[in-house]
């Protein structure tokens, strides 16, 4: 399983806010990273932290993230931009960005337990790559809708990215287009992640 099961607050104290991993936020004015290792950060450490941020936010294993980097490297355009688009178009992330779950691990659980339909068919693979014009809907079952309503009630509503549309009363979302990088819900320098992997080979 790619799901991180360790202490989440420890990760956000070190890496900063990771909205996909947990709704908790690091305390302001208490930078744990500076207390832990005072002094100037090395370039390697900066790149490593950006990579770890991406990994834990999207809930990926090292192998999964490396696979996405390879796919992005073969595509046209900026490798960093394509990498973010690939990660943002995952089904578990789309559910999270629609506000149907509070975190990406919750979204993954919904998909694994077969509560989600894409274009009318059950999809139980969280890494399923959504495409423009895909329709995502919660199964018409009481348990499925109860779970999602619980997430909707407990989550703080944020501005919906331009590439998504949500009808909360029908538990239905749609993908309008490929994500514009400015709508990525994480403060990340994706070029440092690409650099990290390019220096490993």
User: Distance between CA atoms of 77 and 181, rounded to whole angstroms?
Assistant: 13
Using CA atoms, how far residue 51 sits from 97, 135, 171, in Å, is 21, 31, 33
Q: What is the layout of strands, in order, in the sheet containing 135-138?
A: 121-122, 116-118, 135-138, 172-175, 164-167
Query: Is the per-residue pLDDT at 49 higher than 90?
Result: no
Strand 116-118 to 135-138 pairing: antiparallel
Of 40-54, 71-85, 103-117, 176-190, which gets the smallest average pLDDT?
176-190
Query: Is the per-residue pLDDT at 6 higher than 80?
Result: no
Asked if 8-86+185-198 and 91-177 have one fold, the answer is no
Query: Is the per-residue pLDDT at 57 higher than 80?
Result: yes
pLDDT score recorded for residue 116: 94
Percentage of the chain with pLDDT > 90? 32
Using CA atoms, how far residue 162 sits from 159, 177, 181, 185, in Å, is 9, 8, 11, 12
Q: Any idea where the domains of the chain sit in the sequence? A: 8-86+185-198, 91-177
Query: What average pLDDT does range 30-46 have in this prediction?
Result: 64
CATH classification number, 8-86+185-198, choose in 1.20.1260.10, 3.30.1330.10, 1.10.1050.10, 3.40.50.12160: 1.10.1050.10
pLDDT band at 32 (very low <50, low <70, confident <90, very high): very low
Token pair 């993954």 is at which residue?
108
User: Distance between CA atoms of 97 and 34, rounded to whole angstroms?
Assistant: 31
Query: What average pLDDT does range 116-131 have in this prediction?
Result: 95
User: Distance between CA atoms of 86 and 93, rounded to whole angstroms?
Assistant: 10
pLDDT band at 178 (very low <50, low <70, confident <90, very high): confident
**Average pLDDT, rounded, for the chain:** 81
pLDDT score recorded for residue 64: 93
Query: What average pLDDT does range 3-27 have in this prediction?
Result: 59
Q: Which CATH class is domain 91-177?
A: alpha beta
Query: Is the per-residue pLDDT at 129 higher than 90?
Result: yes
| Beta strands, E only, 25-162 | 116-118, 121-122, 135-138
CB neighbours (10 Å) of residue 192?
A: 18
Rg (CA), the chain: 17
H or E stretch covering 136: strand 135-138
H or E stretch covering 94: helix 91-98
Task: Give the bridge partners for 165, in sequence order.
Answer: 174
Q: Model confidence over 65-122: pLDDT tens digits?
A: 999 999 999 998 889 989 999 999 999 999 988 888 888 888 999 999 999 999 999 9
pLDDT score recorded for residue 34: 46
DSSP string, 69-81: HHHHHHSSS-HHH
Give the highest mean pLDDT range of 4-8, 35-39, 70-74, 166-170. 70-74
Give the highest mean pLDDT range of 16-25, 99-108, 114-123, 192-201. 114-123
pLDDT score recorded for residue 190: 87
């Amino acid at each position: 399983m790619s799901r991180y099961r360790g202490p989440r607050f420890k990760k956000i104290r070190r890496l900063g806010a990771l909205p996909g991993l947990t709704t908790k936020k690091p305390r302001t004015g208490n930078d744990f990273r500076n207390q832990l290792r005072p002094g100037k950060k090395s370039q390697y450490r900066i790149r490593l932290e950006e990579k770890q941020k991406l990994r834990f936010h999207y809930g990926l294993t090292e192998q999964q993230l490396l696979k996405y980097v390879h796919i992005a490297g073969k595509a046209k355009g900026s490798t960093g931009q394509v990498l973010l688009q690939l990660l943002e178009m995952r089904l578990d992330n789309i559910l999270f960005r629609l506000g149907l779950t509070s975190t990406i691990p919750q979204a993954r659980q919904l998909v694994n337990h077969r509560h989600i339909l894409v274009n009318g068919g059950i999809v139980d693979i969280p890494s399923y790559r959504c495409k423009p014009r895909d329709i995502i809907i919660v199964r018409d079952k009481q348990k499925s809708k109860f779970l999602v309503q619980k997430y909707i009630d407990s989550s703080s509503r944020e501005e919906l990215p331009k590439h998504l549309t949500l009808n909360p009363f029908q538990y239905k979302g749609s993908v309008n287009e490929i994500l514009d990088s400015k709508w990525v819900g994480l403060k990340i320098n994706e070029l440092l992640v690409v650099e990290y992997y390019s220096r490993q080979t």
